[in-house]
Structure formats: structure tokens, C-alpha cells
Structure 1
Amino acid sequence: MGCTMNNSHLPIVQSDDKNSSSPILDSESINHTNTFFQAFMDNLDTPAFCLDTEFRYTFFNQTHIQQMKNLYNADIRIGECHLNYIYIKEDRERAKQNLEKALSGEEVIVREYSGDHLLSRQYCEVHHKPMKNSDGAIIGISVLVRNITDMAFILEKLYSSEENARALINAPNESVFMMEPEGTILYVNETMASRLGYTVEEMVGKSTYHFVTPDVAMRRKTYVDELLRTKKPIHVLDERNGRVIENNLYPVLNSSGEVTRIAIYGRDVTKQKETERELRESEEKYRTVVEKTHEGIVIALGSSLVFANEAFAKMSGYSTDELIGMDYLDFVPEEKREEMVKKFETRYADDTAPHKYEFELLKKDKSLFIVEISAGLIEFKGKPADLVVMRDISPRKRAEEIQTRTISLLNQTQAITKLGGWDYNLITKEIQWTDEVYKILGAKPDFLPMDIEHAFDLYSPEDAPIIKAAYNKAVTEAIPYDIELKFFRFDGTPIWVRTIGNPVLENGQVVRVTGIIMDITERKQMESSLREVIQKLRLLTRITRHDIVNGINVINLYLEILRETEDPDERQKYIQKTLDASTILEKTIGFTQEYENLGSVSSRWLSLFSITNSAISTVSMKGVRVLIDIPVEIEIYSDPIISRVFSTLLDNSLRHGEKTSEIRIFTKEDNNNLIIFYEDNGVGIENAEKESIFKHGYGKNTGIGLFLAREILSITGMQIKETGVTGGGARFQIRVPQGVYRINPAEIRV
């Protein structure tokens, strides 16, 4: 179906020069242009539409038709008011405000949620632009809509990590704060607040210039003005009260490139500057130290420190004066001192011994920090000494730990969602899988990922061409794909998967394809079960309604006869018939209680052993022995109401078996199917009745028990039949097809 439009309202480009000699388009040319425009707009995957000054549709494309159907279940038409289709009050008022702004000549771009929660709720970026004729008069509004729901989801995820970011910002000993361009503080870390003698709460919301003297405020405003003008970071040294502060100002830009925030990182570098001056004054003496000034540096003569730089003082929490004369073992946890001594002694005895390693050291407050040590021998005052350069790698180790936890969380998330990721490099032909891909395929951890062509062979014969075509389009035309297909695991088990492929381009060429594969078998089974339940409920409702109507008609007939006869015997006979018909009607109505919960709980994996035991607990067995020989690890995919099937079989054995004293329930596998056997030692069932017992209305009780049992089983594709020998007891077989039962390893008992 092409897009629908009113040609009289289509914006046709005309020359601004009213005296132009350009020929006026004839009707055929206009129609040709409109046809081309319709086809072009219908191929856009972005909803687009135009409104007149009364907000009535003059044009919309096919994508907008579908969007309005999804959001508001609306069938839109040309000439109808756009706002009349938006029945959500908040959505309608917001849309009206945006359209009125556009009519006033303003180009409006908003991001907002739209749609009915019960249908579809989307987060969209909506562009409203006024349409003008050749005279410049506004004649309508053009609207483009971009669905950015996925972007909103990502932003929510980023927002959820705010506490982690706050902890990381508060961790350093440097001052960190963020402010608006005019100076209002939006965030300040605890270090800066403490240095200024305030709390974080006392500073947030106030001007940064409130906390400094007027001359300092003026100087800082100069820095800010320079940043706002250049939109580039600024690094300055700020000296006051005998301290040297290294300030780094970073602009935060919005999507339009305007500065909306300024982040400031301030570091007290007073001692660093003093050290640099001292090093410059004694350059020859401390040349080796100067070359490594960014790391923690100590010189140990024997076991005592004779030099320590400021960086190591900060790492350890001591002052440089306190460090001189300390034993290097004072920084080593007691349980690791012997190991450290061996490293020092080995280095003295063997020049080839490792001189670079990682070690945990103690701070003054006895907390631990991890350093990367690079040690070497030097001569100090004519004696051999150790020059030890240390880099604090605690932040890196924390980052690695966070990364490890993140990877673990990712793997857990993939396992829970049954979603695996993959990446295929078209240049190197290398393919990578995440752990969950191995699980979905049923591959061992040491299995090498197969090439992409062989991976296609795992799809069902009818679906393999579909995935091949989608993949080829991704490679040759950079078109991503998202499809659901039938798939076979390595052990031959059929499953349903959702597979997504996304081409990655470099210099306009596809060089990689990344994607995910998700096991959606349970979702497909649930959808199938739901469709089956709806069909069964319709059938049962139709049967019940038919029986009730028939019962009422019978009662009405008997009442008519009673009204017309005076014979006492006849009246008594029809009164009894009326009561009998009423009893049948009551049982029929009671039948609705049997299936009112059918499908109210989603089908799921259930323990067969637990199902049968649950059914036994609902029936008074009257001394009859029940033997259950079912492995506890067997699970079946079913509606929980399946326990009613076994309680019905048990009840029938007690009612009609006459001499039943023992019942046995057991299982066996047969040609990839699971067979559940139910046997009793009663009188059995006549051959002529073996199929009739499953029909509605058959039997000595309500005539609905086994009928309902068969309907319950069929929801997930199970079948039941009676195979016993007359006089030798009843024997029912329930066939459970492949994919509807499984062996749960967690339940296997050794």
C-alpha cells in the first residue's frame, strides 16, 4: 500500500523569483512528482507526516501509519485531526504544545515518551518544522519521528551506575568538582569540600566564586571565559597562601557543541614543586632520581632508607622526614617479610635475578597498597645500595578487579537470558564466541569456533537459506538483520533461536560482523501453549454453553408439560425428570470449575515426580497402594494444571476399577519420546470403550474427566490412550514428544 496524501497540500518547490520564466509544472508532471515522492517516503523507515494549520493530516507515510497503530491502535486518515487519535491526555497536550510552537514559526525538537502502556510505549525524538509557501506564509507543519527507545534504555543503564562513578570520584586525594558556566556548583567531591572547611551539601548549589577572595574570583573567571570561548581544556597553576594548585578545566559539550558544564580537577602540587626546585639545585647528586620523579623512589643502604621521594611519601602516608631511617621491612606485611628478604639477597648475589615484580606494602595506617617494583644496585656514599622505583598500581588492580567482576556479571547475565555474543572478522576469518554460545550449541569449552559457513548448517533445512541471505546482505550491503529461526544443537536437539547480525564498517567497507544468538525455545513453547490454551478454552466454553442450553430447554419442556397435566402420577414423574435435568445442569456448570484456571499460569518446566505425588495427595486412596517409579531428574514442559490429569486417572481407578488394590506409575524413553505409563489391577476397560472414554459426555459420572485430561495434555503436544487388557486392569500411556521433556542434571542423585 502506498503512502496516502492530499496532493493539494503537498509542498512543491517553486522559484523564489516571482518574475522567473521557469515553466509552470503541468498536471501530469505534478502527478509524476507526487508518485515519486510517495514511493520515496514509503521506503523510509522513519515515520513522517504533514499537517495543515488545523493539525489535520495532509500527508503521512506507511511507517507513520504503523507507528500510530502500535502506539494508539489508530487507523489514521487524511483530513482528520492528528490530535484526535492521541487518546492519552498527557501525550495529546504535549503534542498540541509542540505543534502550536511550530505554527508560530519555531522549529521544535523534543524527546519524549508516547503511546499506550498496554500497546507500545516508545521514547522518540520528534522534529517539528513549519512549512511555508512561496510568500513565506506558514501553511502547515512537517513532522519526522525517530524511535530512540533503545538509547533511553542505555541512558538508564548509565544513570544506574552513578553511585559507582561517585565512589571513584571521591576516591582520589585531589579536588574534583563540576559547575555550570556561570559558576553554580553542581557536584563537589569530599576532598575539595574538606580542604575548604565545608561539607559537600554546603557547597552544592552555590557559586564557586563565593568561596574565594574577589581577586582570586576575578582570575578564575578569566580562565572560564577563555574556556567558553575556545571550548578547549585549560591547565593553570594557581598560587595562594603559599600553596601551588594545578587546576585542569575541562568543557562538557552538548550535542550542539555548546558548553553546558565545566569539570575542574585540582591537585595540590606544592611539595612536588619544592622537590623539583631542590632537584634542580642539586642536579648532579640526584640525576638518577630526577629521571624517575613521577614514581615513588627510595634508596636503601642495607635495610635502612636514606632517601625517599615525595611520591612514595604520598603512597605510604608518611612524610619524607619520617621515612628517612625506617627499615624497608616496616612496609612489608609480616607474613611476606621472608619472601621480600630473599628477593633482596638474591638480587645482590645474582645480577640475572628478576628485578621487577609486584608486591603488597603497608601504609602508615596499616592499609595495603600494591606497587610494581623495579629495583637496581647503585653506589651511595661509596657503599652498595638499592635504588627502588615503585609505581602504585592499586587503581589498575581495582580496575582489573572491576573488569573481572564485570565480565563475570556479563557471563551471568548471558546465562540468565540465554544470550550469547559472537564476532566474525571478514579479513582474518577469525570468529569469537562468548561462553553462552557454547552452552546454546551444546559445545564443549575446548571446542574451536567453526567458520561461518559451517555454522549455517546448524539451522533447519527450511531456515538455512534465510540466515544465509540475511548474512550475505549484511556483508555486501551493510544491512543488519534480526530474525527468529529453527536451530539444531550439536546433539541434534531442536531449539528456536533469535539471531542478530550487525555489520561493522571501516572506510565504507564491511570488515566484521558482530551479533548475538539467543535461545528463545521456552518463549516459543509458551506462545504455542497460549495459542493451544485459547483454542481449548473456546472448545470447552462452546461445549459447556451447548450443554447448558440443552439442559434449560429440557427443564422448560418438563415445566410446560407440568403446567398442562392434572394427573398426579404424571406430575410426579415430570417433577422427578425436572430434578434430574437440574442435577445434570448443575454438574455441567460445575465443569467450568475444572477448566477456569486452564492457562492462567504460564507453562513451565515441572518435575514429573512432584506432579504425580501432588495428584496423589488430592485423592483419598482408601487403602490402595500407589507405586511411583519415576526418576526425580525428569521434567516436562506443561501447564501446572497437568496434575489434574493424574488425579482424574486415580479417581477413575477407585470409582470404576471395582477391585483395584494397586496402581503403578512409571516411565521409559522410546524413539526420542518419553512414555508415561499408568496401570491399575482393576477390572479394566472394554475394547469398545477405549476411545469413547475420552469423549465429552461419556461415562457414569460427569462424562468430562478424561475428556478434559486429554485437552490439558494436548496443550504442549502430549497424547494419551488406553492400552490395557479387559479384565487385566486399566493401562494408560501418555506420550511426551521430544523437546517437551528433559533431564535436569541438578536433580540427579548419586
Structure 2
Amino acid sequence: DITDRKRAEAAVRESERHYHLLADNVSDVIWTAGREMDLTYISPSVTALTGYTPEEFLRLKADECLTPDSFQRLIASREEVLARIGAGQPETVPPAPQVLELEYRCKNGSTIWAEVVISLIRGSEGEPQGVIGVTRDITERKLAEAALKNSEEYLQTIINGVQTGLVIIDPRTHTIIDVNPAAERMIGVGRDKLIGSICHKYICPAEAGSCPVTDLGQAVDNSERTLITVHGPRSILKTVVPAEFSGEQYLLESFIDITDRKRAEERLIESEERFHLIFRNSNDAIYLFEITASGMPGRIVDANEVAVLQTGLTKENLVKKTFLEIHTHELPTKSRAIMMELLTKGQIRFETEVQRRDGTKLPVEVSAQFAKLNQKTYVIAISRDISRRKREERALRIANQKLQLMNIVAWHDIQNKVTGLRGYVELSKDLVTDETMKKFIQSEEEALKVIHQQLQYTKEYQEMGVHPQEWVNLHQTLRMILSLAELGSIQVIVDVGDLEVYCDPVIAKVFSHLLDNTKIHGKKATRIHISCRETPDGLTLAYEDDGVGIADEQKKELFMRNVGTTTGFSLFFIHDLLEVSEMTIRETGVCGQGVRFEIGIPRGIYRFGRND
């Protein structure tokens, strides 16, 4: 009787039909493999997953349908499965299925990610007979995971890179949960030590139970607070907001260090207070005025009380005028040249007159320079009343004129007497026959000659400082002196370019005396070279000849007045004249090779290439 067998076979066929019906219609790919892991069946849904028909897929080798990394993972899993099948022993507790994430190659050349769950197929006695697998498309999940990972890495890069300190705190325990590198640097403590610590210890100076956010309910939004650091308290700008992570509530604190900015602001406030103190209490008038589009002095923006007194105008009327309008008509004619020099040098000093409200004129000395205010350039001018100085200068000038007149009269009287006496001496030479008397007369004649020379030096010395200093073109001056000098065969080379020196106009006498010195004492001199070169301290003007030079023991007292030698007086005169013009002179030549007089000219009183 095979009735039961028939019934069993029918049941198996019905079960297989139900199984194939299920396998052929689910979206997941269901497949089976034998004991050697060779595919025996794959569901039609493989076409939707990979583009291959079931027949095509069954003909593919594993390394043809998987990427290299996934193929290696499959091989490792296969070895484990084959080891279990090879054992052939029934297991009382079925092992957990293997779960793999593999990257498949599709028919169109693209790839997809799939989750593969592999389980053993066992016989009626529990012995392993093969495997069954379920493959599910997880490409979208993998893309989402990759996007999430990239997003987390991007966010972490930002958090680690920003200069803002970030701290996450548990509001219940006030424990530090996390910090970024900027917070570590500001606090001066490493991440490992900070995490798990109480925030009152390292960050907030508030005592336990007095937290501004959790205990006092204060809003902290861009608020100035204090940060506790290992180097002492620092000023910060702080914001605290609630944040939720993994369903838990936390506090996210962000802060930036504004200590340096606060100090800079304090220094700026202190500087402004000092400026206002000087501005209000200065004995000089101070004006702040604009610059017009054409580069000329513009409207007065501000002025101190001394400026109000200086002009006789009220503050309201003063700031309505331009800087030129409060001065006499002389200033507008010079204003362009003044502004050009101000632009070139950055500062300028000049004298002018303030036109007062009552019609009187007040002489002033103005010192001006540029000033930046709110990214705009102004000119700040300090105007000093020099009316007293002008009166004193006038009185001194009149006194000097009177003294000069008296000196001239006295000098002419003495000169006339000496000239007359020299005439009498010359006449007496023809009347005297006695040789002894002739020697006396010759000595008298020499003495009168020296007196006459000394009178000439005295006249030149009196002229020193009488005339105001001016810009002297040295090349033109030397050319004029050389045209009048009688140097014989001595060659003169002038190598000073277009040098101008601000000095006493009688500087021409300096070079006249130096030329005379070469003629008289140079003896074998055949060449004179006048040159200049700039140094860190200013300019060195050199006068050289190739004469006999000066002995070293004579150089110490070279520029002192030596009674009885005309040369001593002339060098003494040269020294004093240069000193009046803030210049120096020294002799640095080598005895036997010629003299070298070096005239030191400080910066500010010489220039090149100017004709104005």
C-alpha cells in the first residue's frame, strides 16, 4: 500500500509549489546552493536587482557578479559555511545566519549594494545539505549612510576648525560632555581632562547652585562673560542654547575670546580721553578740517576753545568756515604749495596771520599733519600765537640794525685811519735813509697790513647771522667764487650735483677762505676736489686738495683763533659760520698728501634738485 507515500509526495509537491510561488513573487532575491556552494536556484527578482535573467545569473561566476572586495568577503564566508557542511554533524542549536553586505556588478555596468542573509539547509536528521540565501537591495541605505558619514565628517571638520569654543554640558549634573579644539586651547586644558569634569571648575566662575542658565533662568545670548582658564580669567562673548542629542537634552555653549579686543577698546578710550584732555587744555589753537576734492583745505570740523579766542568767533560760526577763510588773503595764495608739501612730507610748519573778527591780524605759526578719523582723512593743525615773538624779533632786528650801523661807522673810521697811516708810512720810506729806521718802517708796514686784513675778517664776522637763512644753490655759489678767484694752474673739480643748503648767505666766504688756504699753504697743490655723499646722519661735503696737508699735532687747535696768523682767524671764522647754520667741520686729510675738510650737514637743511 503506497497511499501514504503518495500523500506525502503530493504534500511535498504542494509545498514546493507554494515555495516557488513565494520565491518568484517577492522583491528580495531568494537563492539556494549545494554543498559546494554552487547555485542551484535563484528567484526571478534577480532581474530587477541586477538586470540579469535567472538563467544568465546562474551561469556567472562569483567574481564576475561581485566587486573584488565583496568577492573576498564572500570567499571568507564560504569557507566558514563549507566547514560547517563538511563537518556533517547535526546541531542541536541552529547557528545564527550569516549576514553580509556585498557590492554586485549589474548588467549595465553599474553597481548596487545588497544585504545577503545565508542559512544552512538541513535534512530530516538535521544534517547540512546546502544553503539558502536572501539578497535585499540596500543601495539607498548605503548611500544614506555614506551621506550621513560625509555630513558628520563635514560637521566635525567645521567644529574642529572654527575659532569659536564649543562645549556640550549636561544641564542636570553640569558635567562637560564634549569640547572642540578651540575650547581646549582657550581653557588651556586637554579634552581628556575636561570631559567628565564639572563646568564650574574650568569654564564658568559661578558657584554650584548659582548657574546663570539652569538655576537663575538667565538668557545668555552674545553676553560678555568670564572664562576660567589655566592662565587666569579671560573675557568672552558667550551664547548658551538648548540642544537635543539622541533624545537627551543638553546645553550647547559657544564663546569667543574678546580679551584682546577689550584691552584694545580700553586703550582706545584712554587714548581718546588723553586727546580730548590735550584738545581742551592746550595753550595753542587746534583745528580739525576736511580736505576738498581738489586737495585744498576745507571746512573746519572741530576746534578748541583757544581757537575761539584766537579768531574771536563763536564755536558755531567757526565750524561753518573753511580753514582758509579764517586767515588773511596771503594764505590762500600759498595754500596749494603748502598742501603739496604736506602731501609729500606728511607734515608741514609755516607762518601766517589769523584774520580776527574785529579786523585785527594775529601772527601765528601753524604745524599741520594728516589724521585718520572713521576711515576719512583730515588735517589737524596746531596754531600758535607768535605775536610776542614777532615783537621781540622786531625789537632785536632794530637793535641789531643800530649796532650794525654803529659797527659800520666805527669800522670805516678805523679803516680810514689805517689807510691814512699806511699812506704816511709809504711816504716816510722815501724820506728815511737810515737802515735801522727803514727796518722799523717795514715792520710798521707789515703790522698795518695785518691790521687791515684783520679788519676785513672782522667785517665778515659782523655780517654773520645778520641776514635770514635761505636755500643756497651750492653749485652756482662755487661757480661764482671760482670766476673771481685767482688760482693760477690749480685745477678745481666741483661734484655736488644740484645740492642746496639752508644756511647763512655768507657761506660763500667759507669756500673763499678754503681756496685761499690752499693757495697760501698748499704749496705744491695742483688740484682741488669738492664733492658730497649722504650718510646715515645726513650729508658730508668734502673739500680736498693735493698739497702738503696739515700735521697731526696742529689739527687739534686748527679752528681756534690764533693771534698773529691770518690763517688761524679765517679757519676760526669758517668754524663759527658753519656752527651758526648747525653744520660742523673737521680736517681728516693725511699729512703730505693734502688736506680734506669734511663739512657735516644734518638732515632737513639740505636737498637735491629743487628750484622753488
Query: Higher Cα Rg: structure 1 or 2?
Result: 2
Band of TM-score, shorter chain? 0.3 to 0.5
TM (norm. structure 2) is 0.34
TM (norm. structure 1) is 0.28
* Greater relative contact order (CA < 8 Å, ≥ 6 in sequence): 2
